[in-house]
Amino acid sequence: MPICARRYPVFTLPTANCALPLIFIPVLYAVLFSLFLLSVAIQCGYALYFFTRIFNFPKPELDNEFATGEVSIIICAKNEARNLENNLPAILSQRYSNETGKPMYEVVVVNDASGDDTEQVLYRLEQQFSHLWHVTIADEEERKFKGKKFALDKGVEYATHHWLLLTDADCVPATQNWIAHMVSPFEQGKDIVAGYGALKYHPGLLNTFIRWETLHTFVQYSTYALAGKPYMAVGRNLACTKEIFYKARQSDIWNELPSGDDDLLMQCCAEKDNTAIVAHRDAFTLSDAKLSWKEWIRQKQRHVSTGKYYRDEIQALLGVYAASHALSWLLFFVLIFFSGWTIVWIIMMMRCAVYWTIWQSTAFKLQDRKLLLWMPLCDIGWAIYNFVLSPYILWKNKQQWK
């Protein structure tokens, strides 16, 4: 067997003349290896500049025993009777009161033309809790905003307090101190507070990947905010002032989508000095993840379609990060079939050590240690995730929020 055939066994052509492989393979390897090095270098750059900030995340504690400001909690509900019945009592029983024990918050539920028992559930709960009341939108009512935004606007319009705390009907606070933690940055002059919306654990690969993707997204938007580049939040755990909400509502992009109110509000109003991130375990909300891949993909299609409205700088940063992530793994799996695979393994393991350490630290902070063993698989899975959903970032708008 010719020597050249033994050197590159995978790519050698079955011919007597091995001149073509000798010329082509080293050049191909050099090009692919250079791209691999560039991708890994970019990945490490993002980790060092942005994501390592997760290690220095502030750990705020509550300084006041009693509430310091009045809060309106806004929940938009469409056919959510069961979720409201299960989750509203926990929201209505928060430890956020004055010296006399009077709740210093109200809960405003907007019933968006529901066809189930949402109205009856709300009437029944209003008999038990005086700080709960609701607004009903008729199915034939004319809408000046698309999708959820009309219901949200209606809730804010009827809210009586300046501090707003937004969540969803399928969410429940992790503790009775949820409100107190989420609004505490307002006392330091912040106008927007982004929290963490955790997902409940269920056995299975789908639930594991959804929880990891939620954690990964939090690492991104929280550390970008700490770096002075806030760009997104999750609507199931977001607080802002009324002034900020009305400012976002008046922007040109607000009514471009039926959903995406959380991200669009951040794009319109979030700045380096007016935005806070709260990651205290008492400030989480909990909700159920989707139970099928089809349902989850449909949900993510709606979520990522907001990406095209991000600021140019943010789009570029997120795009380069996702592309370098995908290229790192793709080129790794190609290059391990060349004779210089050892150095490729070493470089990739160094990159993985950095990222898996960051994600494991975040998993500890976010009280989801069951994710630790799944970091490698989820890391690779996220590259596939980006290929699947990238078309929706570029062009598709979902026309319904439910």
With a cut of 70, say whether residue 391 has pLDDT above it.
no
With a cut of 60, say whether residue 398 has pLDDT above it.
no
The pLDDT of residue 1: 40
User: Tokens representing 378?
Assistant: 């989820």
Nearest to 77 by CA among 35, 108, 100: 108
| Residues 5 and 12: beta-carbon distance below 8 Å | yes
Average pLDDT over residues 38-52: 97
What pLDDT, in 10s, does the model give residues 299-329? 777 767 777 888 999 999 999 999 999 999 9
In sequence order, what are the beta bridge partners of 287?
171, 199
Between CA 275 and CA 56 the distance in angstroms is 17
| Residues 215 and 371: beta-carbon distance below 8 Å | yes
With a cut of 80, say whether residue 392 has pLDDT above it.
no
With a cut of 80, say whether residue 56 has pLDDT above it.
yes
| Percent of the chain at pLDDT exceeding 90 | 69
Average pLDDT over residues 129-147: 91
Q: To 10 degrees, what angle do helices 293-304 and 375-394 make?
A: 50
| Residues 211 and 199: beta-carbon distance below 8 Å | yes
Task: Name the pLDDT band for 60 (thresholds 50, 70, 90).
Answer: low
The pLDDT of residue 16: 42
Average pLDDT over residues 26-42: 92
With a cut of 90, say whether residue 185 has pLDDT above it.
yes
Average pLDDT over residues 147-166: 95
Between CA 108 and CA 157 the distance in angstroms is 10
| Residues 54 and 219: beta-carbon distance below 8 Å | yes
The pLDDT of residue 15: 44
Is residue 303 left, alpha or beta, with left meaning phi > 0 and alpha meaning psi from -120 to 50? alpha
Between CA 299 and CA 310 the distance in angstroms is 19
What pLDDT, in 10s, does the model give residues 269-303? 999 999 999 999 999 999 999 888 888 888 777 76
The pLDDT of residue 300: 78
User: How many other C-beta atoms are found inside a 10 Å radius of the C-beta of residue 127?
Assistant: 8
Average pLDDT over residues 163-167: 97
What pLDDT, in 10s, does the model give residues 351-389? 999 999 999 999 998 989 889 889 999 999 998 887 766
The pLDDT of residue 8: 40
The pLDDT of residue 256: 79
| Residues 109 and 101: beta-carbon distance below 8 Å | no
User: Tokens representing 223?
Assistant: 């550390």
Nearest to 227 by CA among 166, 303, 317: 317
Q: Which residue has the higher pLDDT, 125 or 256?
A: 125
With a cut of 70, say whether residue 255 has pLDDT above it.
yes
Task: Name the pLDDT band for 2 (thresholds 50, 70, 90).
Answer: very low
Task: Name the pLDDT band for 72 (thresholds 50, 70, 90).
Answer: very high
Q: Which residue has the higher pLDDT, 234 or 259?
A: 234
With a cut of 90, say whether residue 136 has pLDDT above it.
yes
Task: Name the pLDDT band for 390 (thresholds 50, 70, 90).
Answer: low
Between CA 358 and CA 87 the distance in angstroms is 32
Average pLDDT over residues 152-157: 95
| Residues 230 and 53: beta-carbon distance below 8 Å | no
Q: Which residue has the higher pLDDT, 252 or 175?
A: 175
User: How many other C-beta atoms are found inside a 10 Å radius of the C-beta of residue 370?
Assistant: 13
Between CA 283 and CA 391 the distance in angstroms is 34
The pLDDT of residue 68: 81
For residue 71, report the phi and psi dihedrals to the nearest 5 degrees.
-130, 140
The pLDDT of residue 385: 81
With a cut of 60, say whether residue 188 has pLDDT above it.
yes
